[in-house]
Structure 1
Amino acid sequence: MRLPVVPTIVIAQLFGTSLWFSANAAAGDLIRAWGVGPADIGRLTNAVQLGFIVGTLGFALTGLADRFAASRIFAVCAVLGALANAGFALMASGMGSGLVLRFLVGLSLAGVYPLGMKLVVSWVPERAGHALAQLVGMLTLGTALPHGVKLAGGQWPWQAVLLTASVLALVAAVMIFRLGDGPHLKRRDDAPPLRLGRVLMAFRIPTFRASALAYFGHQWELYAMWTLVPLLVAGTSLTTLAPVSGLSFAIIGIGALGCIAGGFVSRRVGSAPVAATALTVSALCCAAFPWLADAGPWLLLAFMLIWGASVVADSPHFSAMSARACPPEIVGSALALQNALGFAVTMVSIAWGTSVVADWGSKVSWLLLPGPVLGVIALLPLLRKRSAG
């Protein structure tokens, strides 16, 4: 009996991407145990980002993402990521070994996130925007999941949080291996060969270029915001309501609802307007946060939940727009390349944000503001094209 397609892929994405920020959920414990600071937690996060970039560039420029079954690549990479993450929990003794193992986690995730997107398009291309919204929603919830595990675990040692994420990634591998690839996006007999670097030509397509540039602006804000959330809420009135781990889980995790809601709306108005609206709301949140950081706990919580929902609600629509713009035989490679370049952008904002947050305090949100602003500007040609049509 075949598994239900979209639920299987999105749940596997939830479990697989729990590896991504598993070390961040243990940030407080690592700071105490290893004698490191917030900037070092940023370095661990960036090691994952760098591994992801190297992996996605490898998939994109060699065409591997379109040469082999996406389900097999996903399953193998999820297993390798689970092992590297468990190695961090059980063998890392400081920043040196920790950085190497987090890099390997990121390298493995390059076969989980982009290939999950290709699997969606291969099964339900006619519902790509809505289904990708669910997929990125699960990525978001997966990012928040280690914070939730830490909250639920109470006094668990930090290693247990990471090992839980590894077990979930192994479950994801089994789910996708059993599902297999969909009937769409199969290579045509007359398709040109996948030459090294051919995917770079996707940037000559105006629709792909506009979507990709908007995605890069979105990425400047997104992962830095997720990295900074525990540090930003720790010094506010929010800690009177819940522990930092619970607050981080709620603020990051609500992005899943933002993605799903945006997916439903996109079925009526299209992806570009949804992405532009989310970028605008998150830009306003970046601008307003320093003025609201000292507000009462309930007002601040409502504000942070709006920011958490809007900051990622646009993400699936960049993938949907880019996938529709590409020839089917290079979709996997084009999405992998877009991801690689976007995550390269995140490394700059994460490193910068974590290095100055102690001095800038709440004003660090202004560092994130240019991303969504430039994202809206990049989308203007697509918005004009839609209104003209």
Structure 2
Amino acid sequence: MATPTPTPTPPPPLTTTPRRRHAAAAAVAAAEWAAVSSSSAASGDFRVEALGKHQLMRRTGLPARDLRALDPALSHPSSVMGRDRAVVVNLDRVRAVITASEVLVPGPRDPAVAPLVAELHARLSAAAAATASPREEDGKALPFEFRAIEVCIEFACKSLDHETSLLEKEAYPALDALTSKVSTLNLEHVRQIKSRLVAISGGVHKVRDELEHLLDDDADMAAMHLSEKLAFQAAAGQSSRFDIEEEPGEFDQERNNDDDESAEREEDDDEAEGSLSFSPKIDELENLLEAYFVQIDGTLNKLSTLREYVEDTEDYINIMLDDKQNQLLQMGVVLSTATLMISAAIVVTAVFGMNVHIALFLTNNTNIFWVANAGMLGGAAALFVVAIAYYRKNGILR
């Protein structure tokens, strides 16, 4: 008797734990960041890492609301925000997260971002080499975060100044050409220049206003002293509020999203309490910001001068157009007067053409035709001259 073949047991279905789902979502949401640290700057290299939002929050100690300011898809005003362990820089097209030991720049493969990463790498490498050199220097070296902040602000100021210089080289000849000849092509060129002028002026205003805000707020400048803050916390035996090694779970993340507003308020209160005990000297940072405030203010003055030139050109073009319009109106007055006088002569002709028997029709003198025509034309011309003289006397015609 044959024994029946046992049916194979199907494998158990694969289950996905919340931690795995969260890790997969984090891997999908990870973005590329260029990391230029003090050690990599000294060695002459930098890294490109894929960091998710939560990884970046644990690494820099930043809340989610500050990371949203670095998203190019969202519209945020220009800002330089000092936090517990990092400084968030968002100036025009310059976006970076600066800590006491590294700089993180999002999207390093973007052609618009690559020059900033190269500048950070070059400047911080040179500064690290100068700090490591045995020769004596006049003053102490700037902290790492100050050097990185200086590179970011200088890059933003130089980029805006370069765009302003290019616009000046193109704008002044185009405005002069429009003054010489008003045409559709010249008007369209000037319109494009004016649109670029408005866009660049907006970026310069944002950067200038943010630097002015920082210079007016000592607490914001004090919050950017990350190296001194870490040394102060180490001396006081304190630890940062963001030293979290455990990865939050899916349900913890949802709960944190629900309590986001209350956490932000508590964070602001904690930062205010910490700032009362930590009060560094801000003279060094203030001098650095003042130098670039003067530079961006000079760029704004260039744009203001160019805007005034554009407005003067527009006023001149409007004056020219008004003058042409006045000439056309005067020509219309002259033609209307001439038409009126000719109409008067036509009325006389119509009177002669009436079927009325008068003595003039019975004459045999053929010269009367020419005399009548000459009289009508002479009378119309005399009335025309009188009308023109009246117009000139009263300022209607020039």
TM-score clears 0.5:
no
State the TM-score, normalized to the length of structure 1: 0.25
Give the structure with higher Rg (CA): 2
More helix by share: 1
State the TM-score, normalized to the length of structure 2: 0.24
